[in-house]
Amino acid sequence: MDENKTQVPTNTITRELRDLAAPTGNIYETVMIIAKRANQISADIKQELSKKLEEFSSYADTLEETFENREQIEISRYYEKLPKPSLTATKEFEDGEIFYRVAE
pLDDT of 60 higher than 60: no
The tally of CA atoms less than 13 A away on the side-chain side of residue 73 is: 4
What's the pLDDT score for residue 1? 47
pLDDT digits 0-9 by tens, 14-57: 888 999 999 998 999 999 999 999 999 999 999 998 888 887 76
CA 34 vs CA 6, 7, 17, 25, 56: distances in Å: 18, 18, 13, 14, 34
Which structural domain, as residue segments, surrounds residue 59?
3-94
* pTM for the whole structure: 0.77
CA 2 vs CA 12, 44, 47: distances in Å: 20, 11, 15
pLDDT digits 0-9 by tens, 83-104: 899 999 999 999 989 888 877 7
79 CB-near residues (< 8 Å, 6+ apart): 45, 49
Give the length of the chain.
104
In a domain, 102, yes or no: no
In a domain, 10, yes or no: yes
What's the pLDDT score for residue 12? 77
What average pLDDT does range 67-81 have in this prediction?
Answer: 81
In a domain, 99, yes or no: no
In a domain, 31, yes or no: yes
